[in-house]
Amino acid sequence: MQTPFVNHQEKNIIFNLIPENTFEKNSVLKKTFDLYATYFRFTDIRCIHDKFNMIKTIICNNMISEIEKCKLMEIISMNQKIYLTMCRFIRIIKYNKSKTYDNDFDLHGESLEDISDKHKITIYHENTKYIFKLTDLVSIINHSLSKCDSFFVEPEVIKNPYTNIPFNLSTLYSIYFEIKKTAINSPLLFEMFFKSQFCIHKFKATYEPYILDEYIKNHINELSKSKMQRLCYEILHKYKRINRKMREFNFDRRYSTEKMIKVMKPIVRKYLFVKHSQNQGYRFECEREIIRQLSCLISNDKEFGKPQIKKSKRKNVQIVFESLEHLNTFQFNPDDELHINPAQDFKDNNYNFVEEKFEFAPPVISDKVDDAFLQRINEINNHRHQQEEERVRQEISRRRTILETMQNSNSQTQRTSEIVQHNSQSIYNIINEIMSEYTQHYNDLS
């Protein structure tokens, strides 16, 4: 009988694990073993791909009789059984002798001792045992398989969060069947990954629309307040003319942003599917649901889209003369009424008039407009004051230039003398105008 080991290109190839006494008891198998050795002499029993390609070759070979094929399959199955038993035995030894990763807390900082065993899972990876909370492991799986940058599907292999090393094939199968044993529903993408034989490229090519939809479901929780606000405005603009209710509805942008986001968040979630999903049927269904929800929102919530008018904090007092109380037929608010008796007050004050000083303040408009409007008004007023000051300076400079020009002119004739006398009077007039205009402008600014 031939040895089960062959040295091929300095590599030991194992093609048989069946003991010799097994063939001595069965002479038919012993005769078939030479044929088995011919096919599997250079095929390592540890290589799954080469091994099953050779089995396919034997099945498709018409030169081998059916009886020989059956005997060959019997030898192959016996070798496979022994090989798997040895692999299982070696794994048990490695698992028992491996160390446990020193970590007493889960990924959210919760103590693992406070978690029941049915909610925990132990994974053997890279000669080390790791204890995970089931929900943490499910979150890692969903996050890796639903990775989409800017809505481009790019799933990642599932990695060990403690070492950042990808889980190997055997570990992924162990995780899948351990989750199946628990009460937790297996993630949809993980089921698809399992059907793809845990091949990330096959998984992406086969289930790309489902991966994108799973990403969109959780993407709304990652949006900032400004992006949510922009999406809400985009929805209201896009469906403005979809029906009569929407056409008659006018949204005021002074409406509270927090209230708008809270009310429209379910609609925004469906709008993300309409905008980015590759599932045409589901996109159409979401768009119909958006129109229905918007119509119901506008019909049921009369305050939606209307700004909240701030009530003035000032209290209006209604003065009522005691001698004319019988004429006070219409009362606005009895708590705001002030009853006075001028004749009695005059008598109580030794028949002297009481003089009260009233201070009048400019109207307060800050409770009627927003801060941005007031800031803009202040900027406009400051700009106008600066322009006015600059104009006055230029005018003063211009008139000073004229004054200096007149003072430097010198003439010998009487006509020139009269002109100079006339100009002197003009100079004084210019000076007076400059001083009066400058004083008036200074008083205005004060």
How far is it, in rounded angstroms, from Cα 260 to Cα 243?
Answer: 21
Least confident of 48-52, 175-179, 434-438: 434-438
pLDDT of 272: 93
pLDDT, the chain, mean: 80
> Tens of pLDDT along 74-112?
888 888 888 889 888 988 898 888 888 888 888 777 788
In one-letter notation, the amino acid at residue 428 is: Y
Residue 282 resides in a domain: yes
Same domain, 51 and 84: yes
Distance in angstroms (rounded) separating the CA atoms of residues 259 and 229:
10
For residues 37 and 73, membership in a common domain is answered with yes
In whole angstroms, what is the distance from residue 11 CA to residue 269 CA?
A: 58
Q: Which residue has the higher pLDDT, 55 or 228?
A: 228
Integer Cα distance of 280 and 273 in angstroms: 10
Token output for 354: 């009481």
pLDDT score, position 2: 47
Domain count, the chain: 5
What number is the average pLDDT over the span 341-363? 67
Q: What is the pLDDT of residue 430?
A: 66
pLDDT at 359: 58
Same domain, yes or no: 77 and 37? yes
Mark whether 189 and 259 lie in a shared domain.
no
Average pLDDT over residues 204-226: 91
**pLDDT tens digits for range 179-193:** 888 878 888 999 999
Polymer length in residues for the chain: 446
> Is 385 found in the same domain as 362?
no
Q: Write down the pLDDT at residue 5.
A: 42
Residue that the structure tokens 């798997």 belong to: 84
SS3 30: helix
What's residue 326's pLDDT?
A: 76
DSSP reduced 3-state for 150: coil
Q: Is 442 domain-assigned?
A: yes
Q: Residues 149, 201: one domain?
A: yes
Tell me: the pLDDT tens digits for 240-251? 888 888 888 888
Q: Does residue 411 lie within any of the structural domains?
A: no
pLDDT greater at residue 165 or residue 354: 165
Please indicate whether residue 294 or residue 358 has the higher confidence score (pLDDT).
294
Q: Are β-strands 128-133 and 99-100 bridged in parallel, bridged antiparallel, or unpaired?
A: parallel
Strands 318-321, 337-340: parallel, antiparallel or unpaired by DSSP?
parallel
Question: pLDDT digits over 17-50, tens only?
Answer: 777 777 767 777 777 887 888 888 777 777 788 8
CA 157 – CA 142 distance, rounded (Å): 11
Question: Which residue do the tokens 């297996």 mark?
Answer: 186
pLDDT (tens digit, 9 = 90+) per residue, 271-310?
Answer: 999 999 988 899 999 999 999 999 999 888 888 888 776 6
The verdict on residue 107 lying in a domain is no
Label residue 75 exposed, middle or buried (CB < 10 Å: 0-12, 13-18, 19+).
buried
Q: How far apart are CA 10 and CA 190, in angstroms?
A: 41
Does residue 20 lie within any of the structural domains?
yes
Q: What pLDDT is attached to residue 311?
A: 57
Q: Check whether residue 32 and residue 19 sit in a common domain.
A: yes
- Is the confidence at residue 238, as pLDDT, over 70? yes
Are 116 and 213 contained in the same domain?
A: yes
Distance between CA atoms of residues 5 and 16, nearest Å: 8
**Domain limit, last residue, from 246, 266, 300:** 300
324, pLDDT greater than 60: yes
Indicate the pTM of the whole model: 0.59
Residue whose token pair is 């209307």 = 306
In a domain, 105, yes or no: no
Confidence of residue 9 (pLDDT cuts 50, 70, 90): very low
155-164: average pLDDT: 91
- Look up the domain containing 15 and give its range: 5-97
| Other beta carbons within 10 Å of 55 | 17
Out of 219, 244, 277, a domain closes at 219
Question: First-to-last CA distance in the chain?
Answer: 119
> Do 41 and 92 lie in a common domain?
yes
On whether both 234 and 215 belong to a single domain, the answer is no
**Percent of the chain with pLDDT strictly greater than 70:** 82
pLDDT score for 6:
44
CB 184 within 8 A of CB 134: yes
Would 417 be classed as within a structural domain? Answer: no
For 95-99, 154-158, 374-378, 430-434, which range has the lowest pLDDT when averaged over its residues? 430-434
| Per-residue pLDDT at 145 | 93
Percent of the chain at pLDDT > 90 equals: 20
> Does residue 103 belong to any structural domain of this protein?
no
Instruction: Encode pLDDT of 373-421 as tens digits.
Output: 778 888 888 888 888 888 888 888 888 888 778 777 755 444 555 544 5
Residue 59 has pLDDT above 60, yes or no: yes
**Is the domain of 154 the same as that of 244?**
no
Tell whether 210 and 272 lie within a shared domain.
no
The domain boundary, picked from 200, 219, 238, lies at 219
CA 395/CA 315 separation, integer angstroms: 49
33 closest CA partner among 49, 51, 18:
18
